[in-house]
């Protein structure tokens, strides 16, 4: 790349256009930044940036994020075709310490026989906030729908506590076992209340090591009453191993809740929901199958579109939020469905040892 003095009028015009886009554009040659448009220069400290002077690959990324970006660049260059573009969401830190949630497009190209990579960085802070707000309201709406069942889960131990307290009231020397049972029931209620509070509280996104089996276990109780009432049995198939991924606990719970809720809704009465966790090829695979009414292909193509629902009181937001969360976790989802036979949602995530920061 040349200095402005060496540029043709057309090149100057292009440069002018690029300087006045909203997105930040950075051109890399190997590990060096060889050009950045005006919006991109805020990522560099003033002393660091002089046009045409080479500087080392952006230190506006955290070390582990920089490694992720380098891996993707390497992957795109090695395996991609000419026009290939990859996208990654990463927090970018500007010199005053502000963190900007960003989406980075990576596009390799060749200029005068020199291989270069274009990074286009878009500030998605507002989009991300809107997504989190949507997730939050969808979360509250599904919990609202399940509330009757949850209250039932709390009322059952309360009834048992009351019964044992009445026995103890009559008995001059109460049985120690009663106290044990009462304490267990109180713990059960406490666990439900804590789980619900943690789930419904708006939380900033926080990626940690997660064990899918225990998240699933902590989610299933929400559906017990619903399932019993509709004669639905749950079959959880695991190999007993830990299924670890890098993820946000509340968001993963939301995924399980939405998919299991849909599976229950798809079964009129009497049926089965099988959930299996499998580790294979550095991936964690979750399969959720129901014996419900299934879907024709015309519906499958609409899944995940906002407000698409076939239910009288549906929101049509569950799958949209679910797919966003899966995407956010670098996961994939596939759907198989047969009318009157049932549906299987298969989710695949990179295992923790691959995804870890
Ligand atoms: N397991 C399933 N079996 C049959 N249909 C399903 C299943 N999961 C989702 N669907 C269909 O997808 C639609 C959208 O689901 P979702 O986004 O969760 O919204 P909602 O549950 O509020 O309708 C549902 O209305 C239903 O028609
Ligand atoms: Mg739903």
Q: What is the pLDDT of residues 138-164, one digit of tens each?
A: 999 998 888 888 888 899 899 999 999
Any ligand 1 atom below 6 A from CB of 157: no
Average pLDDT over residues 183-197: 90
Between CA 38 and CA 20 the distance in angstroms is: 7
The position carrying tokens 């989009």 is 127
Residue of 146, 223, 261, 262 best suited for mutating to test ligand 1, as the one with most atoms within 8 Å of CB: 262
Note the pLDDT of residue 352.
95
Q: Which ligand is nearest to the CA of 264?
A: 1
By the 10 Å C-beta count (0-12 exposed, 13-18 middle, 19+ buried), 63 is classed as: exposed
Note the pLDDT of residue 150.
86
Percent of the chain residues past pLDDT 90, beyond the cut: 50
Average pLDDT over residues 333-354: 96
Chain-wide mean pLDDT for the chain? 88
Note the pLDDT of residue 221.
83
Between CA 272 and CA 289 the distance in angstroms is: 8
* Per-residue model confidence as pLDDT tens digits over 237-292: 987 789 999 999 999 999 999 999 999 999 999 999 999 999 999 999 999 999 99
In this model, does residue 321 exceed pLDDT 60? yes
The CATH number that domain 4-123 falls under is: 3.30.450.20
Segments making up each domain of the chain, as ranges:
4-123, 132-141+205-355
In this model, does residue 54 exceed pLDDT 80? no
Ligand 1, residue 321: give the atom nearest the CA.
17
HEC string of 191-221 equals HHHHHHHHHHCCCCCCEEEEEHHHHHHHHHH
Between CA 252 and CA 217 the distance in angstroms is: 12
Any ligand 1 atom below 6 A from CB of 336: no
Residue 353 in tokens: 């040892």
Any ligand 1 atom below 6 A from CB of 262: yes
Note the pLDDT of residue 118.
92
Q: Which ligand is nearest to the CA of 295?
A: 1
> pLDDT-derived band of residue 46, with 50, 70 and 90 as boundaries?
low
Note the pLDDT of residue 72.
85
Average pLDDT over residues 16-44: 88
> pLDDT-derived band of residue 6, with 50, 70 and 90 as boundaries?
low
Between CA 84 and CA 115 the distance in angstroms is: 14
Nearest CA to ligand 1 atom 27: 310
Rounded to 5 degrees, φ, ψ at 10 are -65, -45
CATH class of 132-141+205-355: alpha beta
Contact 55, 137 (CB under 8 A): no
> pLDDT-derived band of residue 48, with 50, 70 and 90 as boundaries?
low
> pLDDT-derived band of residue 57, with 50, 70 and 90 as boundaries?
low
Helix (H, G, I), strand (E, B) or coil at 354: helix
**Radius of gyration from C-alpha coordinates of the chain:** 26
CA of 310 to the centre of ligand 2 (A): 10
CA of 335 to the centre of ligand 2 (A): 15
In this model, does residue 101 exceed pLDDT 80? yes
Note the pLDDT of residue 81.
53
Any ligand 1 atom below 6 A from CB of 323: no
Average pLDDT over residues 91-102: 88
């Amino acid at each position: 790349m040349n200095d402005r003095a060496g540029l043709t009028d057309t090149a100057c015009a292009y440069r002018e256009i690029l300087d006045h886009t909203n997105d930040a554009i950075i051109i890399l040659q190997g590990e060096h930044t060889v050009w950045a448009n005006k919006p991109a220069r805020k990522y560099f400290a003033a002393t660091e940036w002089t046009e045409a002077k080479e500087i080392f690959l952006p230190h506006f990324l955290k070390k582990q994020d920089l490694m992720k970006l380098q891996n993707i660049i390497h992957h795109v260059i090695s395996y991609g075709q000419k026009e290939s573009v990859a996208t990654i969401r990463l927090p970018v830190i500007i010199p005053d310490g502000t963190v900007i949630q960003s989406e980075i497009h990576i596009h390799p190209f060749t200029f005068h026989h020199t291989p270069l990579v274009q990074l286009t960085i878009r500030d998605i802070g507002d989009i991300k906030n809107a997504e989190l707000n949507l997730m939050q309201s969808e979360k509250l709406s599904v919990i609202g729908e399940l509330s009757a069942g949850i209250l039932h889960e709390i009322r059952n131990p309360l009834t048992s506590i009351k019964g044992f307290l009445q026995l103890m009231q009559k008995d001059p020397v109460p049985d120690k076992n009663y106290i044990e049972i009462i304490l267990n029931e109180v713990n059960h209620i406490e666990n439900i209340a804590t789980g619900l509070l943690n789930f419904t509280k708006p939380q900033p996104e926080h990626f940690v090591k997660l064990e899918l089996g225990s998240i699933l276990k902590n989610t299933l109780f929400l559906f017990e009453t619903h399932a019993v009432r509709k004669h639905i049995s749950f079959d959880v198939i695991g190999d007993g191993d830990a299924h670890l991924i890098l993820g946000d606990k509340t968001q993963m719970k939301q995924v399980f809740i939405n998919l299991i809720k849909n599976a229950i809704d798809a079964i009129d009465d009497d049926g089965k929901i099988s959930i299996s966790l499998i580790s294979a090829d550095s991936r964690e695979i979750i399969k959720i199958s129901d014996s419900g009414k299934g879907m024709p292909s015309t519906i499958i193509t609409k899944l995940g579109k906002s407000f698409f629902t076939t239910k009288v009181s549906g929101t049509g937001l569950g799958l949209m939020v679910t797919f966003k969360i899966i995407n956010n976790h670098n996961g994939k989802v596939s759907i198989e469905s047969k009318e009157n036979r049932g549906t299987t949602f298969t989710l695949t995530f990179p295992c923790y040892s691959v995804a870890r920061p």
